[in-house]
Structure 1
Amino acid sequence: MSTKDFIEKDFYKVLGVPKDATEAEIKKAYRKLAREFHPDANKGNAKAEERFKEISEANDVLGDAKKRKEYDEARALFGNGGFRPGPGAGGGSFNFDLGDLFGGAQGGSGSGGFGDVFGGLFNRGGTGTTRAQPRRGQDIESEVTLSFTEAIEGATVPLRMSSQQPCKACSGTGDKNGTPRVCPTCVGTGQVARGSGGGFSLTDPCPDCKGRGLIAENPCEVCMGSGRAKSSRTMQVRIPAGVSDGQRIRLRGKGAPGERGGPAGDLYVVVHVGEHPVFGRRGDNLTVTVPVTFAEAALGGEVRVPTLGGPPVTLKLPPGTPNGRTMRARGKGAVRKDGSHGDLLVTVEVSVPKDLSGKARDALQAYREATAGEDPRAELFEAAKGA
C-alpha cells in the first residue's frame, strides 16, 4: 500500500464504523465483514475477494492502537490544508508532484518531506532525513551472592560490570574525526524493510551500518567504527529484602548507556543465597527446629526460640506434644512484597539424652514400671491386621 493510497482511503468507511469507534466495535465490525466476504465463502467471486482485502487492510491499521493513532494524525494533517490545490489548478487537479511530497525513491539531500510522518507506520524513514535515530543501550546481566540474613533483610552490594559503552576515543561516533555520515541504505533509521504481505513490512537491522544508522568514513581504531567499546564499572546496587535463591531482579535504566540520546538498557541481577546454620526458608516463612526434653514434651511448658535478627520469642508447649509437631510464631519470617512479614515455623524435636545420671535413670525406670500396661504400638498392629 502506497503512502498516497493510505491518505486517500477511509478505513472507517471501509469497516462501516464511526471515527470514535472503540476497539471492541472495530473488532466486531471486522469479524462480521470478514465472514461475509471471506474467499472460502465466495469462491470465484473476484469482487468479494477484493472487498475482503480492503477489509483486512483497514483492520490492520484500525485494529492496532499505534497505527490507528498515526493514521488519524496523518488524516488530520491533510484535512487541515495539506492537500490544497494551487491557484492555477483546475478541475480538482493538484499543482505539485506527489512523489516529491512523499519523498520518492529517488530521494535527495533535502529534509522536511512527509515521508517522515509515515515512517513509523510503513517501517521506512523519509528519504530526506539526515539524523540517525536514538538507540537504546544494551541490557546487562550479573550475579550476586548474599548471605541468608542479607537476603531476608535486604542489602546494598557493589557489582562490577562489563558492558559496551560509547567509545571515548571517538565520543561514540565510530569515526576518528567525529564526523560519520548517515547510512544511505537505511537513511539513518538503522532498519530496512522486508515485505510480509498485506501491504505492510517487517523490519530488520540494516546490514550495512549494523543497526546504528551511521557509517564511519574514517573508522576509529579503538572501536573499529562501531562507536562502542568495552568498559568496566562498579555500581552500588540495592537488593530488596525478602529475595529468594535464584531470583532474577530487574533494575530499569541501570544497563549500558544508549546512543544519541537513547535510553539506557536494564540491569538483570540473579541472586544466589547462602545457607544458615540454624534457620531455613519455606516461601515467606522461616523454619527452625528446636530440641525439647521428654519431660517438656510430656508435661508441657514454655520454650525460648531464637529469631533471625531479633530477640527470642517464648512459645507455650502443650502437655503431650508429639515429636515433629510444628508451631507458628507470627510475623517473625521474611519480608513480603507488601512490607508485611511471614511467620517462623518452629518444629519440635524431642531430645534423647545419651548419658543419664543415677537419679535420672531411677526416675525413668520408675516411669517405665508405672506405664508397663501401655503399648503405643498396639494400634499399629491392629491396623496391619485389618488392611
Structure 2
Amino acid sequence: MSKRDYYEVLGVARNASDEDLKKAYRRSAMKHHPDRNPGDASAEAAFKECKEAYEVLSDGGKRRMYDQHGHAAFEHGMGGGNAGPGFGGADMGDIFGDIFGNIFGGGARQQGPRRGADVGYIMELDLEEAVAGVEKRIEIPTLANCEPCKGSGSADGKVETCATCHGRGQVRMQRGPFAMQAACPHCAGTGKTIPNPCPQCDGNGRVEEEKALSVKIPAGVDNGDRIRLAGEGEVGPAGTPPGDLYVEVRVRPHDIFARDGDDLHCEVPIRISQAALGDSVRVPTLGGEVELRIPVETQTGKVFRLRDKGVKSVRSRHPGDLYCKVVVETPVNLTNEQRELLEQFEATFVGENARRHSPKSSTFLDGVKGFWDRMVS
C-alpha cells in the first residue's frame, strides 16, 4: 500500500508555515492518540502517520528532500534527518511525551543536544568505476554556519534568556482536563532570544549554500552500498554538531556484463560452425581479454565458468567468477556460395540419420508423439 502525501496527512498546503504545520500536527495527534482511543487500531495507525509526516516536514533539510523527491527520498534510509522516517516502531509513550509532555501535570522530557540534519546523495557509477574504486567531486545543497555571526544568529553576539519560558524552552498549557507542555512559541524551544538578529541569516545562524566535497569510493562497491562522511551534513543550531553525509551508490547498467554479487555474467555469440566443430574465442573481462575454449558439439545456452574473473567486493577476500553463456547465432546476409553450402549440408539430414545429429529435436519430437498418443487414447 503506497504512502499518502505528508501534506495531505496533516491537511495543510505545500507552502504551509512551520507554525501551521505545528498546529495541524497537534490537532491530529490529539484526535488520534491511542490514550484517547484505546483499542482502536485505525486511530493508532493515523497517529503514527501524522507523527511521521510531521517529523519530515518540520525539519528543513528533510522537507526540501521530500518536496524534491517525495517518499523516494527516504528509501534505504536515505534523506535528511538523523534516522530517516522509520517511525512505525516508535514507542507511544515517547511520542506523546515529545508532543505534549506528561499529561495531568507531569514535566516535559528533556532531550539530548540536537544536531544538524543528515544529508543523502545518490552517486551513479559505471561498473568499471564501482569495481576499481574512484574518487569523485560532488556538490551538495546544505546548511552552513553564517559567517557574519559565526553561527550564533546574533548581529552583536548578544543572546538573552527567553522572558516567556525563563530559559526552560517549554511552556505549560491547560486545555480542559489536559495539562500539556509544549515548545515555547517565543523562542521555539531554545530558551534563548536574540535582541539583534543577524541580517544575513535572520537570526537562524545558518544559511543555505552549495558545498563541494571529494568522495573516495572504495573498490568493489555495489548497488545500494552507502558511504558515510561524518560531520559533512547540515550544521546544527548554534553550538550543536553537524549531521552526516550518506553517499548511496547506484551502478549504471553495463553493455556487456551483468553483476550478481561478486560474480559477473555475459553472453558470448558464436557461429554454428564454431559450436559444431569447436574453437577458441576471445572474451572480455574487467582485467582484459582471455581465451575461452569452445568444445566440439557445444549447444547454445551452455555456460562456461572463468574462475576469479568476477568482482572482489568490499566485503570479500577473493574475487568472484565470470559466467559466459554461449549463444549460437543464425547466420545472416548469406552469399550465394554460403547458401549453396548450407543447402548441401541440410540435405545430409535425412530419415533416422537426422535424429542422431539433433538430440534435442529428437527428444522434442518423441514428446510430441507421446502427447498426441495420449490425446487420442
State the partner residue of 2:142: 163
Closer, same or farther in 2 for the Cα pair 1:265/1:156, shift >3 Å?
Answer: same
- 1:66-100 CA distances to partner (integer Å, 9 max, x unpaired)? xxxxxxxxxxxxxxxxxxxxxxxxxxxxxxxxxxx
Match runs of 1:35-114 below 5 Å: none
- 1:261-284 CA distances to partner (integer Å, 9 max, x unpaired)? 533211122333333332232333
Match runs of 1:232-311 below 5 Å: 232-245=210-223, 247-259=225-237, 261-308=239-286, 310-311=287-288
- Taking the aligned partners of 1:204 and 1:285, their CA distance within structure 2 comes to 55
State the partner residue of 1:54: none
Shift of residue 186 of structure 1? 6.7
State the partner residue of 2:354: 374
Greater Rg over alpha carbons, structure:
1
- Taking the aligned partners of 1:157 and 1:278, their CA distance within structure 2 comes to 24
- 1:161-210 CA distances to partner (integer Å, 9 max, x unpaired)? 1211221121111111111124466776767899xxxxxxx997654433
Partner AA of 2:109 in structure 1: N
Partner AA of 1:332 in structure 2: K
Is contact 2:130-2:221 (8 Å) kept? yes
Q: TM-score, normalised by structure 2?
A: 0.57
Is contact 1:174-1:225 (8 Å) kept? yes
Closer, same or farther in 2 for the Cα pair 1:144/1:212, shift >3 Å?
Answer: farther
Aligned residues: 254
- Taking the aligned partners of 1:264 and 1:288, their CA distance within structure 2 comes to 45
- Taking the aligned partners of 1:312 and 1:338, their CA distance within structure 2 comes to 26
SS at match of 1:380: helix
The answer to whether structure 1 residue 319 and structure 2 residue 317 are counterparts is: no
Q: TM-score, normalised by structure 1?
A: 0.56
Is contact 1:253-1:264 (8 Å) kept? yes
State the partner residue of 2:109: 123
Shift of residue 368 of structure 1? 2.7
State the partner residue of 1:334: 311
State the partner residue of 2:324: 346
Is contact 1:286-1:334 (8 Å) kept? yes
Q: Which runs of 5+ in 1 are unaligned?
A: 1-120, 126-132, 195-201
Q: Which runs of 5+ in 2 are unaligned?
A: 1-106, 174-179, 372-377
Closer, same or farther in 2 for the Cα pair 1:135/1:214, shift >3 Å?
Answer: farther
- Taking the aligned partners of 1:152 and 1:254, their CA distance within structure 2 comes to 25
Shift of residue 145 of structure 1? 2.5
SS at match of 2:284: strand
The answer to whether structure 1 residue 154 and structure 2 residue 133 are counterparts is: yes
- Taking the aligned partners of 1:367 and 1:212, their CA distance within structure 2 comes to 89
- Taking the aligned partners of 2:322 and 2:169, their CA distance within structure 1 comes to 55
Closer, same or farther in 2 for the Cα pair 1:170/1:386, shift >3 Å?
Answer: same
Closer, same or farther in 2 for the Cα pair 1:226/1:294, shift >3 Å?
Answer: same
- Taking the aligned partners of 1:294 and 1:189, their CA distance within structure 2 comes to 83
- 1:195-232 CA distances to partner (integer Å, 9 max, x unpaired)? xxxxxxx9976544335443212222222222211122
State, as a whole percentage, how many aligned pairs show the same letter: 38
- 1:123-156 CA distances to partner (integer Å, 9 max, x unpaired)? 349xxxxxxx854222112232322322222221
Partner AA of 1:374 in structure 2: A
The counterpart of 1:144, out of the listed 107, 119, 123, is: 123
The counterpart of 2:156, out of the listed 177, 198, 201, is: 177
Q: CA RMSD in A?
A: 3.4
